[in-house]
Amino acid sequence: MVGQAPLYEMLGIGNYLWRLIPANPILVRVVQAGGKRKRDLLIRCAYLGILLFLVIFLLLQSAGNLASASLSDLSKQSSEIFYYMSYAQLALVALLAPIFTAGAITQEKDSQTYDILLATPLTNGQIVLGSLLSRLFFVVTLLISGIPIFAITQIFGGVAISSITMSFLIACATAFVTGALAMAIAVFKVGTRRTIFSFYLFIMLYLAIPLALEKMGYFQYQWSFDSTGKAQTHISWFAGFHPFLALRVIFGEPAYRPPEAGMVQGYSWPWNWYLSSPQTFYITFMFLLSLVLVTPSIFMLRRLAQSTNTMRGWLMQKLHISTGDRTRKPRHVWANPIAWREAKTKASANRAVILRYGFMTAGLIAAIVLVVMSSTQKPADVYIGAGGYNPNDKTITIMENGAPSVYLLRDRPESGRAATKVQMGEKQLGIEDLREGMVITSYLPDSGAAKKILGTLNVAYPEMRLSEKATRQFLLGAVMIELAVILLILTQSAASTVTREKEDGTLDLLLSTPITSRYYVWGKLRGLVSFVLPLVAVPIVSVLIFVFHDMIRSTPWAAHPLPWTVFPEAILILPATLVMVSAFAAILGMQMSLRCRKTVVAVMSSVGIVAGVCGGLWVCGSGAAGSSVGAPGLIVGCFSPFTLMAILVNPLDVASSSFSENDSAEGRLLVFVFGWAAAALYAFVVWGMYKSMVRNFDMTIRKQST
């Protein structure tokens, strides 16, 4: 008997672990049913199809070279295939994992089965891990199904098994942390159905922002691999936290190599690990983070399920965003109730209020910071002091390391001596053009003169903390992100607007009233556009701030006005374009919302279509505007919203063949005319889609009701 106790305990633990994962009823049900779903099969086929297409495409591309290729060429080719496949795999996992795991967020809401599960003898661990792993099952099987395709890279060699393993582990860690985050949101009741979209947005921004910053050259650390310091490499500081940046490390690019362990011995753990091996740090960190997110869920599951208040509600009350009171003063309902509902009731929800004001505040702060940085001068050692050039006594005060010195200038040749020569780069200036604050790059006193008379003076405009070029780039980045976020918010709102009413039954109530399809669709469109108008104002106001700033700052430099940071006509073109593009995104989302029965399907397909259309137009527009064809390219570019924005904010970089510092009048005129033409075209497209939607509304709804 004494010897049996440990055995019994071991069997008990074994049984617990067996039932925790391999025999977990929740997981077993999903695994058994998983292979039978048509949708899953199609996604799996599409995933493998994309990977196969990539391999075949890359092989065909180099087919001619392969015939006469050396072994080293073949292995190089193999590495290239692996490079692209790894990125494709990670991109697909990053895209699919949130879709498959986000469903967990609403499990509290869809509590019919959730409550039943909680009432069974299943342990918290079984429920949490069962839900998590069953949602990740599909993504993991996708990854496994891709292994044979990755094996192709082994035919030619050149790719280490460890690199393939790392690539899979990075994808797997990404999927796990996504799932664990969704589970934590669900268990801690911080989310609702609408949180699903915020969840997608968060994941996408998390993936996009560090990548963009890395592309722009920010947040990088550099290492030198030889004693001369020439063989420099740079790595993003985010590499240990970002799947794509971590993945890049495993390809061993010479310009993107982390320092070797010996080179970072001076750093304490875990910094030396983070710096020398960001890819392993990422994998370990993400699996640990998944564990950290899941563990409290396991301990708290039933306790949290018993509480009547949600954590979100509790937080809202603590932050004084919501009082928890279930009453409020009624608001005035517009004559078009559909538009009122879209514009007002959605906007007044706590989440929407935070989102709107947060977005507006962040956008305006970013614009103001940019203005301040672009208008604040870098401190110069030598510059023209207060008052600038004094024409009465023909003097200027030169401030050198804080000490003033007064010099005389000679405005015309006198006594056989030449007039003071004032140079700004290649350009010769008159002495009357000298202004307070101008930086003096060099000066030569007239050596033969008795008084302190300047013979030569080289000046430059004061250098700002942020250069003109950098300011434009940052402003463009800011307004583009703002536009992308606006379109995302609007598309998801529009895509869910009809499907939600179908799901909760309110559409039937509306359709039994005298509201016509025309009235309904118009109301929705108007309401959705009204809802995003305050957001659309953010990029416009950002640009407006710069235009005002340019107008004000040009005054003291009247003789040499600096070029506009943003051409002022931008504020005449942007409002019409942005409103029409928003209306386009809204009507596209509404079309999908009408056609789809499920909100998730409508949202995902609409976001995909809008992203595809805008991205496609951007690529084509940027290509055309940046080409050497000049005006025709510029005209084509105006019809892509993102390219138009780029042309308006940063024309010198985006459309260099049509704009130059000295001559941009024709380009500006074309952009003004065709910017408005683009707005008119979008309005026409929206009108056409609106008419088509009205015409097909009844038929589509009727078809769905049968």
Partner 1 sequence: METVIKTVNLTKRYGSLVALSNLNLEIQEGDCFGYIGPNGAGKSTTIKILATLLQPTWGEARVCGYVVGYQSRMIRPLLGYVPDYFGAYEDMVVQEYLEFFAAAYNINGQQRTKVVNDVLELTDLAYKRDALVDSLSRGMKQRLSIARVLVHDPKVLLLDEPAGNLDPRARIEMRELLKELRRMGKTILISSHILPELADLCNKIGIIEQGELIYSGPVSDIIRRAKAGTVLQVGVATGQEQAAALLSQDPNVSEVVANNGYLQVSLKDGINDFSFVPQRLLAAGYRLTLLKEEEVNLETAFMRLTKGMVQ
549 binds partner 1 (CB under 8 A): no
Identity at 263, one-letter amino acid code: M
If you ran DSSP here, which 8-state letter would residue 220 be given?
A: E
Return the residue of 145, 220, 345, 554 that touches partner 1, per CB under 8 A: 345
Query: Residue 526 interacts with partner 1 (CB under 8 A)?
Result: no
Alpha helix (H) ranges present in 462-598? Answer: 468-504, 506-511, 517-553, 570-595
Q: Of 214-222, 309-317, 416-424, 510-518, which segment contacts partner 1 by CB under 8 A?
A: 510-518
Interface with partner 1 includes 518 (CB under 8 A)?
no
With CB under 8 A as the contact rule, the residue among 33, 509, 552, 677 that binds partner 1 is 509
In three-state form (DSSP H/G/I as H, E/B as E, the rest C), the secondary structure along 225-264 is CCCCCCCEEEEECCCCCCHHHHHHHHCCCHHHCCCCHHHH
Using the rule CB under 8 A, is 64 a contact of partner 1? no
Residue 330 binds partner 1 (CB under 8 A): yes
Residue among 155 and 333 whose Cβ is closer to partner 1: 333
Among 29, 109, 331, 691, binds partner 1 (CB under 8 A): 331
Q: How far is the CB of 193 from partner 1 (least distance, A)?
A: 11
Q: Which stretch binds partner 1 (CB under 8 A): 141-149, 263-271, 444-452, 514-522?
A: 514-522
Give whichever of 197 and 564 is closer to partner 1, judged by the CB atom: 197
Residues 6+ apart with CB under 8 A from 428: 421, 422
Count of residues that interact with partner 1, criterion CB under 8 A: 34
Q: Does 504 bind partner 1 (CB under 8 A)?
A: yes
Q: Min. distance of Cβ 108 from partner 1 in angstroms?
A: 15
Instruction: Point out which span in 139-147, 177-185, 224-232, 340-348 binds partner 1 (CB under 8 A).
Output: 340-348
Q: Does 328 bind partner 1 (CB under 8 A)?
A: yes
Shorter beta-carbon distance to partner 1: residue 59 or 511:
511
333 forms part of the interface with partner 1 (CB under 8 A): yes
Q: How far apart are CA 605 and CA 495, in angstroms?
A: 9
CB 352, min distance to partner 1, A: 10
Return the exposure string of 586-618: e unless at least 16 CB atoms fall within 10 Å of the residue's CB, then b. Answer: bbbbbbbbbbbeebbbbbbbbbebbeebbeebb
Contacting partner 1 within 684-703 (CB under 8 A) = 702
DSSP class of 387: T
Q: Is 329 in the site for partner 1 (CB under 8 A)?
A: yes
Query: Is residue 411 involved in binding partner 1 (CB under 8 A)?
Result: no
User: HSE on the CB side for 413, CA within 13 Å?
Assistant: 3
The verdict on 408 binding partner 1 (CB under 8 A) reads no
Binds partner 1 (CB under 8 A): choice among 215, 514, 628, 661: 514
Q: Which amino acid is at 130?
A: G
- Candidate residues 419, 515, 576, 694; the one interacting with partner 1 per rule CB under 8 A: 515
Distance separating the N- and C-terminal Cα atoms of the chain: 68
**Listed residue (531, 605, 511) closest to 340, CA to CA:** 531
Nearer to partner 1, 192 or 441 (CB): 192
Q: Among residues 512, 555, 628, 662, which is the contact residue for partner 1, using CB under 8 A?
A: 512
- Rounded to whole angstroms, the maximal C-alpha distance in the chain is 122
- Cβ atoms of residues 422 and 439 within 8 Å: no
Give 529's Cβ-side CA count (13 Å radius).
20
* Tokens representing residue 253 in the block: 């690019």
Provide CB contacts within 8 A for 699, sequence distance 6+: none
**Contact pattern for partner 1 over residues 349 through 388, marking x by CB under 8 A:** x---------------------------------------
Give the nearest distance from C-beta 347 to partner 1 in angstroms.
10
Q: How far is the CB of 340 from partner 1 (least distance, A)?
A: 7
Distances (CA, A) of 387 to 392, 396, 403, 406, 672: 12, 8, 15, 12, 40
Question: Tokens in use for 612?
Answer: 């595809």
Q: Of 49, 46, 39, which Cα lies nearest the Cα of 103?
A: 39
For residue 310, the minimal CB distance to partner 1 (Å) is 13
Residues that bind partner 1 (CB under 8 A): 326-338, 340-341, 345-346, 348-349, 504-506, 508-516, 702, 705-706
